[in-house]
Amino acid sequence: MDIEKIRKDFPVLSRMVRDRPLVYLDNAATTQKPAAVIEAITGLYRNYNANVHRGVYLLAEECTQAYEDSREAVRRFINAGSTEEIVFTRNATEALNLIAYTWAEANLRAGDEIVVTIMEHHSNYVPWFRLARRKGAVIRIVPARKDGELDMDAYRSLLSSRTKLVGIAHMSNVFGTINPVKEMIALAHRQGAAVVVDGAQSAPHIRIDMQDLDCDFFALSGHKMLGPTGIGVLYAKSSYFKSMEPFLSGGEMILRVTLDDIVYNDLPWKFEAGTPNYEGAIGLKAAIEYLEALGMDTIEAYERELTTYALEKMRTVPDIFVYGPSDPSKKCGIVAFNIRGVHSHDIGTILDSEGIAIRAGHHCAQPLMIDCGVSAMARASFYFYNTRQEIDMLVKALNKAKGMFGHVA
């Protein structure tokens, strides 16, 4: 990839921050947007804005077609079997809650077990915790080994005939670990459990294939893969969607309403009540086309190179501790770390003074923080528009931060 040419597609990357060139390394939180995505959204509002599925005039037909073309783009991107299996949501969080309040609410009973990993983002933990509390179900936690990978022996031992649902982060938003979800799904299915995969971090960085993974549910967020905010996707096998009650009720999700009856709409519109975020879906389609033009395998290979380089350079910083796998082949695009004597928020503030944007805090993964014995971590996360030079600037700034707090034990 011609990285310098690619960077010109992202207007924000040319700006100055604190009188320094912006170094944006918070891509696990959200990614920057290429001109193609921005233009797709502005083009909608300039040329064919209209509510979808409802009008018989030309603008409405054009907007509806663009919205449904976006659904097909998502289907193609994750290799789902049908557009019936693609439901647009606000984000991955809403997608995961949709499962909790529909399928899981109807199918879990007291004493049933829910298996989740210690690496889960709160979005793939809190809904199941609340569900377990409502239903009298039991949460089982898959631990991580000291090398930042899941303990697969422990996972196997936790699965049983009582396991009804398994929640797995495809890629940890803290460690960057790419979990062996295909194997985990197969093991769960042998026990008759449904599997929910949080793909918010994986979808932007690696090739996703629903036919290969065979998961029952998969959630992703558009804003983490170049798309706009406010648009997410829930994939589910059509057999699940057909059996599930709608999450929200109102317009669009119905086929017919009479004084004494309600007939739900066909899939996938049964789960898309009200005016959808068609702007977000159209922007997401442009983002997907941008990623496909680069090639997901190419993106993954380049990011692994960046991650390898970052791990090598960052370990030269005095008193730094890097979390997660040390083997770059086991992770992608994320390095979480702490420096002895320097709080992660201080690291973030000092880096900001150098024009460098990272994330500091618990990263919506407090169970993992507790397991690591810390309250917070700093996190640098990369995307294909980042460069080795930016990593060099990061390391220089980290050394500055350590120098400023060097007197602290």
Active site residues: 364
Q: Calculate the CA 38 to chain-centre distance.
A: 21
- In a 13 Å sphere around the CA of 205, the CA atoms on its Cβ side amount to 30
Picking from 147, 139, 202, 145, the residue whose alpha carbon sits closest to that of residue 165 is 139
Residue 338, C-beta contacts closer than 8 angstroms, at least 6 positions apart: 320, 321, 323, 344, 374, 376, 377, 378
- In a 13 Å sphere around the CA of 66, the CA atoms on its Cβ side amount to 28
Find out whether 135 and 110 touch, Cβ atoms under 8 Å.
yes
Distance CA 366, CA 372 (A): 10
Q: Burial-class residue 105 by CB neighbours within 10 Å (0-12, 13-18, 19+).
A: middle
**Which residue shows structure tokens 């891509």?**
27
Distance CA 69, CA 4 (A): 31
Find out whether 93 and 79 touch, Cβ atoms under 8 Å.
no
Q: Calculate the CA 42 to chain-centre distance.
A: 25
CA-CA distances (angstroms) from residue 306 to 127, 130, 332, 381?
Answer: 34, 38, 9, 10
**Which residue type, as a one-letter code, is found at position 292?**
E
